[in-house]
Structure 1
């Protein structure tokens, strides 16, 4: 008898569990959400270098795609301010001179399809952990740089003119030159600056749809004062109808750059989605399923790419709006998509008189929410090294561009992990009166050691990059005067030993044997013990020198040597050499 396992999309499962009492709340929340989805979708499309209507196409399709395959009941996906510059940086170099909107849309749609393939494949393969490649400090720096890049890039549009420049410095110079040459359109600047101020003020009342209020007032002012006749650029009538299913046509020569951009976008989108999903899951009691989230994001991008859309991510602000409006399920997003479809089909001229500077105001206020200045200040006070990493990531985005910036952020995160493993915290342990166990002599300088015994702790797995650091420190301890008879490795933090480290340990054991000194291990984990067994290390280090606890090792040393406690100091029998032997500033690392 054969058993067939069928995959049931989360959206289908959600229908089975749907409660009738949720219906009104979801419909109301969907209507409220639409008020935010429309202007933001149009604004973020222009941020990505695409026609405003593509933002609405993208919003509709990604909401429907995630509703079927996304596991979260509350998350809202759509065009995102953090992805807009990445999309523009990927597709604009490939667009022919003079700008071809149709080619730009095709490239963006192919980019969305590539992101979809990456996400779905990674989700099936269980690679949700790749979101951890962006550490919090480097992500803060990246987002700060992105916020500055977006803000500067939108300033000309906010003041009613445009500049032709690449990079942050070029855009600053171009904006300053435009202002100096009198290119500012006063009416556009008034609408844009007023829109920013209004949104920031209304944000004090979370239940007020600040963006919608600003957009409605901007349209009213535009109509009343005929701003289109005063040189203010307007959105105009949107194309009527919904696009057909389309396979984007791009050249083979375009795929390389698109693929690089797709990987960067997928990483940022995943990191943003996992963090947002985790935050809202705590409130709603749901469980975050990282791999299924990847498939859900992939499905949303797939749907967007097939209907002239562009890559999407989770929006924390829109999710928060949906939650505050009473959303209970993905029917909220489906309702929003349906209302936007009605608007496109029946009211394509609804935003005809909306000034472009108002859309710039929407983008700029969104960019301000990306920046995390308090988080940057906290890094300065807590960890100067991580503050430096954040600063380098910021400079990478601001000076080199968005895509190099994300590469720098990922590289810095990986290097920071490698740095900690390469030069981990190390210390000598001693016994402290009134405290059970053994503790770092850095945190407790009064800790006592037995004469001739050093208990040394290395807080990292042993592998090829740090094995020689371990060997050098143990060797330095062995050569202190008076020379210790036993060196016990408190190995509980050592979670792995690779073949390079095993060879180094073997050589170290032989060298200490020749000096008449004993190398012993305490608290080796069973998986690590099995690894060093396979490497033949336990044949060189006698089994009687492998102890289950530090206390057992110390007691064995006492029985063999007759050493006794009393009257000692922490540093008599050996200290950790080098610049890291200074007392720790806190007692946390012990």
Structure 2
């Protein structure tokens, strides 16, 4: 068995891509070159489409492709992950730049770049602080809900472009109404719709054949149709137009004072959504290749890519669930694939900027819509509804939050629900009074085993959660309720504390009060199966001395044995009776 290589130290720890490149094998180069060339056929049209969907000129989608791919090749841990503009971020970016830019493209670019820098710093700092686990706090229902809401927002936002007209509406619901009004008032350009719908149909039909570049086929076909039939002049189909040549420049975007708060909130929302997507995709591909995943380093890599995008005239980016499979299918071996793609896009800007000038706007809308459809999760929601309906409705609430409130407030709403869901199990956890059931080893919940017997004078109580400020009073109430409902006067109360993994100061104070309240009723409080770290905390809080060091037992059975020795009771265990 070959020993795993030692973990990198120093700067190599934070630049795993550079570490891979420093040990690059020339046998990989042919595969990476081919994969990079194949990837380029998607990078250009997709980057332009997502830039337009974000409210920015299309050229900035190419800028937001070059710098992030280069940065991720150095700082990213995944060998085949492709980063760049993404449909899930488009409505978040649009929600910030559209109201603040006042229709000024330069101002929109500055605001989007500032968002990318905020997102980049947030991810880098989070990764260096080893906070890569944070997205695990978002349950699947919540993640499905806000992503479905984002997908719905993208679909509504791109439908007017597919129909060849524009609308001004604040929010998805108003957008739907504006689309209906536009169609009823005969503003739709049906030639543009035919181009866009045809492109969308081709992309969706070819998605089932991963070896065929569906987006490239659809976009090239649409561009050829518009050029050959002269639909731009004869039917008014909007096209991209000539792109400015040259590479992006280093620019530090500086928003005004009034823009700081929206940019900050938008950048943090981007960081959350992009890292949630990236961490999931990273785990999927790591599982396929048998590699390990370091979510914190993935956070650093994503942050570096966003920072590079913001400083080189780009906008926020994320991992791509559509371009990464293309790179994998084309035989990508390392991050060199992304570098080849970035180089090809740069060469396109330098030597052939007018190659895409006849690209029709409805086809770009179709690219974004096809990606948004890929964000929609239905099968998973059906499964959740079948298994646990309340989590299904939780997901629907998150979807409606995004659809009704808008993307950024909707994500905030989803986060609030996530926090509440996270706290709920600890706030009102399960607890049980235990008894001895015939024929079953151990002590079990009386609600599950109603025929189980209790030892007279002994109350066995299990608490299935950490003890902390939010549930301390509830713990006290459940204990006293169990004492009041006991079939015989209680002399000992033994808490089966194996599930209790922590105790905070508030809970310790409540526990101290409970000890005195029980003593006033001549009831001894004892603990069984409590973990040593928790016991150490009780000692630090002074509770070990108050309760008594002899009141702690390694097992429930030892506590029962001690009780029966001190308080003889009419009791025989089923195993003894079975002899």
Which residue is equivalent to 2:273? Answer: 268
Partner of 1:186: 190
Aligned to 1:72: 78
Distance 1:382 1:565 in 2: 41
Q: Which moved more, 1:117-126 or 1:215-224?
A: 117-126
User: Within 1, Cα distance between the matches of 2:10 and 2:431?
Assistant: 51
- Summarize the alignment of residues 12-411 of structure 1 with structure 2, pairs less than 5 Å apart: 12-96=18-102, 99-229=103-233, 230-411=235-416
Summarize the Cα distance change of 1:540–1:70 in structure 2 as closer, same or farther, 3 Å threshold. same
Is the 8 Å Cα contact of residues 450 and 565 (structure 1) preserved in structure 2?
A: no
**1:453 lines up with 2:458 in the alignment:** yes
> Using the alignment, how far apart are the partners of 2:42 and 2:443 within structure 1?
58
Distance in 2 between the 1:442 and 1:33 partners? Answer: 59
Matched-pair contact (CA < 8 Å) for 2:433–2:482? no
What is the rounded CA distance, in whole Å, between the counterparts of 2:304 and 2:207 in structure 1? 32
Deviation at 1:141, TM superposition (A): 0.6
- What do the CA deviations read for 1:353-396 (whole angstroms, capped 9, x no partner)? 11111111111111111111122222222223322221221111
For the Cα contact (< 8 Å) 2:137–2:422, is it kept in 1? no
Contact 1:133-1:410 within 8 A present in 2 as well: no
Q: 1:505, 1:95 → 2: CA distance?
A: 57
Query: Normalising by the residue count of structure 1, what TM-score does the alignment of the two structures yield?
Result: 0.92
| Structure 2 segments unaligned to the other structure (5+ residues) | 1-8
**Structure 2 residue corresponding to 1:471, chosen from 476, 483, 487:** 476
How high is the TM-score relative to the length of structure 2?
Answer: 0.94
Return the alpha-carbon distance in structure 2 between the equivalents of residues 244 and 327 of structure 1: 29
- 1:483 maps to 489
Paired position in structure 2 for 1:584: none
**Corresponding residue for residue 565 of structure 1:** 572
Distance in 1 (alpha carbons) for counterparts of 2:151 and 2:250: 34
1:174/1:16 Cα in 2 relative to 1: closer, same or farther (>3 Å)?
A: same
Aligned with 1:545 (options 530, 551, 575): 551
Match of 1:440 in 2: 445
Between 247-256 and 392-401, the greater mean CA deviation after superposition: 247-256
Corresponding pairs, count:
562
User: Counterpart of 2:313 in 1: which secondary structure?
Assistant: coil
Q: Once the 2 structures are TM-superposed, how far is the Cα of residue 435 of structure 1 from its aligned partner?
A: 4.1
**SS of the residue aligned with 2:79?**
coil
Q: Name the counterpart of 1:516.
A: 522
Equivalences for residues 526-545 of structure 1 within 5 A: 526-545=532-551
- Give the deviation of 1:232 after TM superposition: 0.5
Give the distance between the partners of 2:489 and 2:208, measured in 1 at CA: 67
Give the alignment's Cα RMSD to 1 decimal: 1.7
- 3-state SS of 1:316 partner: coil
Shift of 1:6: 4.2
Is the contact made by 2:141 and 2:394 (CA closer than 8 Å) also made in structure 1?
Answer: yes
Give the superposition deviation at 1:431.
3.2
Stretches of structure 1 that go unaligned for 5 or more consecutive residues are 569-590
Q: What is the alpha-carbon distance in structure 1 between the residues aligned to residue 23 and residue 166 of structure 2?
A: 51
Q: Is the Cα contact below 8 Å between 2:18 and 2:73 reproduced in 1?
A: no
